[in-house]
Amino acid sequence: MTASMQSSVGNPGAEKRGMNLTLRIWRQQGPTAKGKMVTYKITDISPDMSFLEMLDVLNEQLILQGDDPVAFDHDCREGICGMCGVMINGQAHGPQQTTTCQLHMRSFKDGDSIDIEPWRASPFPVIKDLAVDRRAFDRIIQAGGYISVPTGTAPDAHATPVPKADSDAAFDAATCIGCGACVAACPNASSMLFTAAKVTHLGLMPQGQPERNDRVVNMIAQQDREGFGGCTNIGECSAACPKGISMETISRLNHDLLGALRAGARPKS
């Protein structure tokens, strides 16, 4: 396909559901291939469809035409697995603060033009089209995003009471789904909100205290190694986060980091 090629798909004979749209979608064969925007016209889109169902309709038609369908990641389609996520008209997950799978076509109107692109950050290389590799996030968790408690070694669950306010705040941070919208939205491609969410979750729980200092220095060192940018407190991350992880987590991380460094904690090399 060429950038100027227009591929018109649709089902002209079917009952009209409403919207005709122009999609401009990033197509890229593989990690090292050169990508480009390709334009598609799509007709007969119901406002009740989810954004991904709209892409399903496009792909069904592309397959039948013998064209390569658009690769995109998705799984649970109920906003919790964190697998989906694309830039829609330049916004991570589109115009609403939700996951791409929970965005519905009623957020658009007939005749709209929609640009669809993958997350753009060098630590998230494109696999194909809109699908990117986010394993850098797993490696940040590997660096310390856990409490070391081998199975079978736990004391009774009521042995350590946890103040409700701490537990609730820990929960709020722990709802991060690891989708990567924060990185995609950040002008610096920083992963600070992702890392801060985990540091906050575990740092608020009494069970997380023994490893608190090492955790923060090692997770920060790993996100630097992965090539994520530095945090300059712009706040685009939190504004794009479908789970509303707050900027306070970043303040908490910075506080923990300073405390850890003062206490002599240093990252493992």
Partner 1 sequence: MPLELFTTGEPIADTKAPTDVPIGERWSERQFRGRLVNPANRRKMTIIVVGTGLAGGSAAATLGEAGYKVKSFWYQDSPRRAHSVAAQGGINAAKNYRNDGDSVHRLFYDTVKGGDFRARENNVHRLAEVSVNIIDQAVAQGVPFAREYGGLLDNRSFGGTQVSRTFYARGQTGQQLLYGAYQALERQIAAGTVEQNARTEMLDLIIVDGRARGIVARDLVTGEISTHFADAVVIASGGYSNVFYLSTNAKGSNTTAIWRAHKRGAYFANPCYTQIHPTCIPVKGDYQSKLTLMSESLRNDGRVWVPKERGDDRPANDIPEDERDYYLERLYPAFGNLVPRDIASRQAKNVCDEGRGVGPGGLGVYLDFAEAIERLGRPAVEAKYGNLFDMYAQITGEDPYVTPMRIFPAVHYTMGGLWVDYDLQSTIPGMFVIGEANFSDHGANRLGASALMQGLADGYFVLPSTISSYLADGPFEKVDESHPAAVEALQGVQEQTQKLLNINGTRTPASFHRELGQLMWDLCGMERTDEGLRKAIDRIREIRQEFWSNLKVGGDWHSFNQTLEHAGRVADFIELGELMCVDALHRRESCGGHFRAESQTPEGEALRDDENFAYVAAWEWTPEGQAPVLHKENLEYEYVHLAQRSYK
Interface with partner 1 includes 90 (CB under 8 A)?
Answer: no
Minimum CB separation of residue 19 from partner 1 in Å reads: 13
Residue from 39, 98, 188, 254 binding partner 1 (CB under 8 A): 98
Q: Is 221 in the site for partner 1 (CB under 8 A)?
A: no
Question: Which of 6, 8, 113, 207 touches partner 1 (CB under 8 A)?
Answer: 207
- Phi-psi bin for 262: left (phi > 0), alpha (psi -120 to 50), beta? alpha
Choices 197-205, 228-236, 249-257, 259-267; region in contact with partner 1 by CB under 8 A = 197-205
Ranges of H-type helices in the chain: 51-64, 135-142, 164-174, 181-185, 192-204, 212-226, 236-240, 248-262
Member of 13, 150, 187, 264 binding partner 1 (CB under 8 A): 150
Question: Is residue 110 a contact point for partner 1 (CB under 8 A)?
Answer: no
- Please report whether residue 253 would count as binding partner 1 according to CB under 8 A: no
What is the four-CA torsion angle of 224, 82, 86, 168, rounded to 10 degrees? -80
The residues in 69-88 that bind partner 1, with binding defined as CB under 8 A, are 69, 71, 73-83
Region binding partner 1 by CB under 8 A among candidate stretches 40-48, 187-195, 245-253, 256-264: 40-48
Query: How is the chain split among helix, strand and coil, in percent rounded to 5?
Result: 35, 15, 50
Whichever of 11 and 39 has its CB closer to partner 1, that residue is 11
CA distance 108 to 129: 23
Q: How many CB atoms lie within 10 A of CB 94?
A: 24
Under rule CB under 8 A, residue 46 binds partner 1: yes
